[in-house]
Structures are given as C-alpha cells and as structure tokens.
Structure 1
Amino acid sequence: MTSTRPALGRALCAMITPFTSSGALDLDGAQRLAGHLAARGCDGLVLSGTTGESPTTSDAEKRSLIAAVREAVGTRATLIASVGTPDTAHTVTLAREAERAGADAVLLAAPYYSRPPQDAIEAYLRETADATGLPVVLYDVPVRTGVRIEPDTLLRLSEHPRIVAVKDCSNDFLAAQTVMARTDLAYYAGCDEHNLALYAVGGAGCVSTVANVAPSEVRAVLDAFDEGDTAGAVRLQHRLTPLVEAMMAGGLPGTVTAKALLAALGLPAGPVRPPLCPADPGAATALREAYARLTAEVSSTTARR
C-alpha cells in the first residue's frame, strides 16, 4: 500500500498559544494569529501541542482555545487538538472534550514518563481512538516521551479505522518509509528540516513550528514540489534552513523562539509560561537577523520575477 492524504491539510502549523502580558490565555490573540496563519497558507493548525505549551495550560484553557480558533478560521483550516497525557483516563477525557469543542482530529503521543512497553502503548492509543469519532494522528516523538511507537506497533495500529496519520519526530527515516510503504497512514514531518525529504517519498505534508513566523515560505516548498519543480522546492527548503536552524537547533525550545519572533513581528504571542524562560536579548537578536535574511531573500526573488 502507499500513503494517502486525509483531509487534514498539507502545511500544518504547530501553533503557539498566545498569552497576555500577565500570562493569562489570550483568546483574541489566538483568533488573530490563527486567522493570519490560515490566510498565509496553513491549511491545518495543531493546538495545545508541545509548541502550544500543553504541559502548562489547563483542560479548560485547551477547550476554550479550540472553540475560539474554530470560530476564527471556520473551515479554512483543520484543527488538530493535542490530547496526550501520561494517564489514559485523562487522555480519553481530553479527546472527548476536544471533539465537543470543535476539533477535526486529535494528536496523540505515547504516554510519557512511565515508559510503558509496546503492548501497553498500543492499548493506550487504541482506547483513546475508540473514545471519539475523530480521526487520530499518532505522534512518534521519543525525545519527549522516552519511548518510540515502534514500527511494528504502527503497522498494527494502521488497521484501526480512525488512526489515519503519523506526525513523525522519530529521526528514523528508514522506519518512516517502511511504515509508509506498507500502510495507508499519512505521514507528516514533525521536524522542519525533514519537511521536503519526507514529502518527496510520499509524505502528506508537515506539522511545522517555523510556520508560526514563516507560513507562506513553509507552504511554498510543498507547492513547488507538487508543481513538479523539484529543484525549486530544494532551493526554497535551503532558503528556509538558516531560520529552521536558528529556531530549532540553537538550544532553545521552539515555543520560546517562535514567541520571540512573533513578538518582534507584532503578532500575538505574549510570554512563555514557567518553567520556560524567554529568549535572552542575544538570542532574540540572532533570531531577528535570521528572519530578516529570509525575508530579504524572498523580496529579492520576488523582485527578479
């Protein structure tokens, strides 16, 4: 079998959760940011994920965020709510609440910290998938959960009627291709440096943190590839790489770097919640410089056309 592309979108943004200056949930800001991202090419938004500071937002805040963003974007973008926790019962509750609040799908990582074996991980994922009528995107991110969703487990889970996709942060490109070749699971790159590479071997798209600040540029890579301009897609991915490196490989979490840049761009962001700390002035300057180089290259290319 080959990968299929469900109606979840191609260029998905792992959206930050805006807060007010006092640290409260900024629903107006979330609506403005979601509308901005949808207008600039993001056909899907992942809410309350890692980049959305899920560990420090309450269940009520997660529900309110889904409802507010749904109101803002309507059908312009799919909404995928991250619901994973270390507790099966809590995860099931969050999945049901996400469905009631208007999510189109849920994102589900392996239960973290307890590091259960594969049979227990599979049971957790199946129980949550059985709890709602929503499509499920599995999230393979062992650097955060401490455990893989192993390829053999993914192969078995692919038979579940509501488990339709994988957000891949395994850094195991061979395993991803193996599962893609043997199932109908739609694979999304969860690491921005892999967006084009995974797409080129049949991936469904990406779930991008960098898209918070460069949505059009992230989308352009996929568009160029779809148009048959592989050389152009490579060029556009290379153009993005310095910003990807600055945001994702500079020692700061993507939430911190995305919020620092969004604030500099005058877009809703607000502070990060502890234990995260804001980017220091030096890091913030380096991020702005990387972003400025990208926009200068985009402007130069546009001017030459």
Structure 2
Amino acid sequence: MTAADPRRPFGRLLTAMVTPFGLSGELDLDAATGLAAHLVDEQGNDGLVVNGTTGESPTTSDVEKAELIRAVADAVGDRAHVVAGVGTFDTVHTIHLAEQAAKAGADGLLVVTPYYSRPPQAGLLAHFRAVADSSELPVMLYDIPGRSGTAIQTETLIALAAHERVVAVKDAKGDLVGSSRVIAETDLAYYSGDDAVTLPLLSVGAVGVVGTSTHFSGTSTLAMIEAFERGDVATALRLHRQLLPIFTGIFRTQ
C-alpha cells in the first residue's frame, strides 16, 4: 500500500506479526501469508509489522527476512501497509536491511534503538539519520528502552522529527509526559507500542497502536480506537477495561 493519510502514515491498527516456522525451523511462508490475510481481513488491521522482535527478527537470516516481507506484501496487496523491522545495533547492517526491505515491497521501516551498546543521544541521532537518509521509505522510530537499554530522549525525538522521512514513533517507553510534548511540538504520528496504554496515548494525541494481542483482539481494539475518535469516551473506556487483562496477560518477562 502506497497511499497514506499523513496523520496516520501506517494506518491506525497494526499487528507486530509472529513469524511461523516449520518443525525443522524453516520459515512457513504459507502460514505467514495466511496469518497476514487473517489479520487484515478478519481482525481489522490496516497495517502489519513483519520482522519485528515479536517476529523473532534477531534469529532470522537476512534472506529469510526478505522472503517474509515479499510474501506478506504479496498476500495483503493494497489492503494494508507493510512495515518492515530493520533495526539492529549496527548502522551499516540496518541500512542494508532497509534497502532489502524496499526491494522486497515494504511500505515503511521500523527502526529500533540500537541495543546493548547503549549509545549516547548524539549516536542515536547519527544512526537514525543515516538510516533515513539511505532509503526513500518512511521511517517509524521504535522507542523501547526496557528492551534496548537506551531511551530516545524528548529533545532527540524533536530533532529527528525534522527529517522528512522520519514520520512516526512506536512508543513503548511509558513516559506519557514526554510523549505528550513530542506530539504537541512535532508532526510525528505516535503509535502505542504497549497495548495496555493505547487509550491513554490516544488521549494525548496518538493515532493508533502497533500491537501484539491484536493477533486475536484486533476487532475489539479497533472498536476502542474508533469509539475514542468519535468522542464516545465511555465506550472506549469500557472496551479498554475489558481488554486490559488480555493486553497485560500475554506478556511474560523473566
């Protein structure tokens, strides 16, 4: 899908897809395309993220990543945006994955903060700008310090918003005050990266969610978003409370 609402460049309900594998550890592309079609046609998704960490991207090869993007993009056609996770802790490798994703048919890039090495904010600026400079695809930054070890600070996000291809943030930082400021001071489209705080983020200007529970709660999550958008806060809150045990129950951290 190439046409996009600039307010929601990747849609409003996206699922970070799991990656199906066969019994011998090989990609199961038939299962992947079936899942993609189900998420779009039955669960209301207008965007999909492939090769995210939910999709076990640290354990798949570059070739497998390209095959998965191509298969999912072909399966959903123009019915949904396909966003490819390309982030690594290596700028050169991330750029390579971005180039590969574009060739495979992705509509956008999800770029996580470089992990483990914990770069300073100047390093994050250089990394994200280099990736955005290298591709014609729009970029969604992924801010998840609980996993990556480094947060993208508010001032860094505001600076990155000046880049024409940095258009969105997947926000899993849990800093509602900081997120509120970035939303107010930039044109970045904010997507909740934590299913349970989707409604709170919508209340300060977010446009949607990149979810995981949305594999099976997509229609209800979309109903919550739509209720909020039409001003029916009571219904949105009721759905949020109904969904909260699902949002929180699927996560397990050792």
State the TM-score bracket (shorter-chain normalisation). Answer: over 0.9
Matches within 5 A, 1:94-113: 94-113=97-116
Matched, 1:173 2:137: no
Q: Looking at CA atoms only, which structure, 1 or 2, has the larger radius of gyration?
A: 1
The size of the alignment, in residue pairs, is 248
Match of 2:165 in 1: 162
Provide, for residues 203-258 of structure 1, a one-character-per-residue CA deviation record: whole Å limited to 9, x for no partner.
0100000001221111111011122211001101111111112102x447xxxxxx
Letter of the aligned partner of 1:11 in structure 2? L
Is 1:243 aligned to residue 246 of structure 2? yes
> Superposition RMSD on alpha carbons, in Å?
1.1
Residue 209 of structure 2: SS of its match in structure 1?
strand
Counterparts of 1:43-58 in structure 2, within 5 Å, are 43-58=46-61
8 Å contact from structure 2 (residues 9, 189) kept in 1: no
- Tell me which moved more, 131-140 or 224-233: 224-233
Higher relative contact order (CA 8 A, sep 6+): 1
Corresponding residue of 2:130: 127
CA distance in 1, matches of 2:226, 2:22: 35
Report the equivalent of 2:3.
none
Q: Which residue of 1 aligns with 2:33?
A: 31
Describe how 1:1-305 pairs up with structure 2 within 5 A: 5-39=7-41, 40-248=43-251, 250-251=252-253
Equivalent residues of 1:210, 1:218 under 8 A apart: no
> Please, which runs of 5 or more residues in structure 1 have no aligned partner?
253-305
Could you give the per-residue CA deviations for residues 83-139 of structure 1, whole angstroms, max 9, x where no partner exists?
011111000000000011000000011111111111111101000000010000001
Question: What's the TM-score, normalizing by structure 1?
Answer: 0.79
TM-score (norm 2): 0.95
Runs of 4+ in 1 over 2 A off after TM superposition: none
Q: Given residue 234 of structure 1, which amino acid in structure 2 is its aligned partner?
A: L
Q: Which amino acid aligns with 1:211?
A: T
Report percent identity of matched pairs: 50
8 Å contact from structure 1 (residues 6, 164) kept in 2 = no
